[in-house]
Chains A and B, each alone.
Chain A
C-alpha cells in the first residue's frame, strides 16, 4: 500500500521496458509479477513480516529491485548493502542489529537467512509503531565507526508521487547510497527505463550509453575525471546523452569546463543530497557554474556559521549509534560549509575536510583543481599530513601522463602553484604515484587527515 503510486503506473505500462540489467530487458509487467511473487514469498515461506529488520545485499538487479519494492510494501525496515562493501559487512550487521539477511549472488539468486537477533532499538520501535517501511543507510562517522542513519521510508518516498519527466537512466550511483535509490525510484515512478550494471568503469559506462541510448547519467565528479582521463567518451557514440548530473563531492571548475567542451550537447546538473536529508531539488546558475539554488517543496534551507542546515519531512529520525544531529528547532546540521550569493549557494566542502596549516585552512579540492591544470598531470589527490611545525602540511599525490625526473617536476609544479595560490596552499610534499587511491565509491580517500 505504500507503493500504490508505483504499482498503478506499473500496471498501465506493462509492456514498457522498466529495467535493462546486464543487457537483459525486463518489462514493467515482469517487474510487477516478480514484486508480487516476493511479497508472498517473504510473508508465507520466509516469515519476514512487517517491522522485520532486513539486510538486502546485492547490486541493482531484477531480483534485488523486486525484493526492495516487496520489502518496502510489506513495511519492513531495509538495510541495503552493496556486495562490494564486504570488508566491513559484519560490523554493519552488528551496528544495525539485523534480523534477516537476504543475499543475491552474481546469478541474481536470493538466499534467505535469519540471524536470530531481535532489535529493540528506540528508533526501530518508532517505525514499527507507525506501521511504515524503514530504511537504514550508513555514512562515515567522525570517530571512524560508520553511522547508521534511520529513515521512516514513507517520508523519502513522498516526493515520488509527483510525476516528472522520464528518461532512459543509468543507475550508476550505488545501491546502498541514497543517490542510487533516488535514481531508481525517480525513474520507476515516472515509468522510464533504468539501466543497471556492476561494472562502473568509464569504458563500460560509455558502451552502455551507446547501446541503450541512455539519456541521463547520474555520476560523481571523480568518475567524470576518470572519464576524461580514459577518453572513453571519444570511442563511443554518446549523442543520446542529454543530462549528466553530479553530486557526492565538490566538483572542480576545471573538470566542469573540460566536460562542457568535450560534451557540448550535454547539460550538466549539480545535485545536492545527504543520506540524512534525501536529495534536494537544485538549479545551477548555468552549465559552467558551481553556484546553485537549493531546496524545493518540503525542504527548508538556512546557513548558520557558514554551515548549511536543512529541515525536511525526509530528514532521518536519528542514528542508531550516534547522538541525534539536529538543532533544537529540527534542522539537520550538514557539516557542509557554503558561500552564499543572494539565493545561490556554493558548496565548499565538508568542514571536516579542511586541512589546518599553521592556522590557515585549506580545502583539498581547491588545490587539486590547480594541480590538474598543470601540464603532464593526469590526476591529483591532496591531503593533510600531521606535522609538528605547522600542525599539518599539505601533500599531493600526482599521477603523470608521461614519466619525468621527480625533483624537476616537483620544482616546476611548485612554481606553478606559487603563481596561482597563497603560500600556505602550496603542497610541501609532492609524490609521483602510479595510481591515485580511489575508494570504491569514487570519492577521494583523505589520508592522514587531522586537525591542528
Chain B
C-alpha cells in the first residue's frame, strides 16, 4: 500500500484545526505548526475541546484519506508517550496507524 506522507497527515490535522478554531475565541485558537501544544501543560484546549479535536481529526482522516482510525482506543491511551501532546506527536501516531 502507498505510504501516506507526513505532509498529507499534517494537512489533515490542520484542516481539523481549522474546523475547531472556528468555534474558539481568538486567544484560544490553535496554531497550525508542528510544535503546537495540543494537550497537557500549556495547552489551550480543555477536555471537551480535545475530545472535539480528536473526533474532528478522525472524521477528516475518514473523509480525506478514506481510512477509519480510532484515536482514543486502549492502544492510543496506553502509548508510552502520549500521542496528544503536540501536532507532531499526533501526526507521528497517525502515521504509525495508517502505515502499518
> Residues of A with Cβ closer than 8 Å to B?
357-358, 387-390, 393, 406-407, 410-411, 414-415, 418, 423-424, 426, 428-429
- Residue from the list A390, A393, A411, A423 in contact with B19, Cβ < 8 A: A411
Given contacts A390-B47, A415-B23, 8 further A-B contacts (CB under 8 A): A389-B54, A390-B51, A407-B15, A411-B23, A414-B23, A428-B48, A428-B52, A429-B59
On whether A393 and B22 interact (CB within 8 A), knowing A388-B72, A406-B63, A424-B48, the answer reads no
What chain A residues lie within 8 Å of B51 (beta carbons)? Answer: 387, 389-390, 393, 428
Contacting A at CB under 8 A, from B55-100, are 55-56, 59-60, 63, 72, 74, 77
* A357 to B23 CA separation, bound complex (whole angstroms): 19
* A250 to B49 CA separation, bound complex (whole angstroms): 30
* A23 to B37 CA separation, bound complex (whole angstroms): 68
What chain B residues lie within 8 Å of A410 (beta carbons)? Answer: 19, 56, 59
- Residue from the list A389, A415, A426, A429 in contact with B22, Cβ < 8 A: A415
- Closest residue of chain B to A393, judged by CB? B51
On whether A429 and B55 interact (CB within 8 A), knowing A407-B19, A418-B23, the answer reads yes
On whether A428 and B72 interact (CB within 8 A), knowing A358-B48, A389-B50, A390-B48, the answer reads no
What are 24 A-B contacts with C-beta separation under 8 Å?
A: A358-B47, A387-B72, A388-B72, A389-B47, A389-B51, A389-B54, A390-B47, A390-B51, A393-B51, A406-B59, A407-B15, A407-B60, A410-B19, A410-B56, A411-B23, A414-B23, A415-B22, A418-B23, A423-B48, A424-B48, A426-B52, A428-B52, A428-B55, A429-B55
What chain A residues lie within 8 Å of B55 (beta carbons)? Answer: 393, 428-429
What chain B residues lie within 8 Å of A414 (beta carbons)? Answer: 23
What chain B residues lie within 8 Å of A387 (beta carbons)? Answer: 51, 72
Question: Interface residue count for B (Cβ, 8 Å)?
Answer: 18
What chain B residues lie within 8 Å of A393 (beta carbons)? Answer: 51, 55
* A415 to B20 CA separation, bound complex (whole angstroms): 10
- Closest residue of chain B to A358, judged by CB? B47
* A264 to B30 CA separation, bound complex (whole angstroms): 50
What chain B residues lie within 8 Å of A426 (beta carbons)? Answer: 52
* A255 to B32 CA separation, bound complex (whole angstroms): 42
What chain B residues lie within 8 Å of A415 (beta carbons)? Answer: 22-23
* A407 to B60 CA separation, bound complex (whole angstroms): 8
Query: Closest Cβ of chain B: how far from A72's Cβ, in Å?
Result: 53
What chain B residues lie within 8 Å of A429 (beta carbons)? Answer: 55, 59
Q: Which of B22, B51, B72, B74 is packed against the most chain A CB atoms within 10 Å?
A: B51
* A410 to B50 CA separation, bound complex (whole angstroms): 17
- Closest residue of chain B to A360, judged by CB? B48
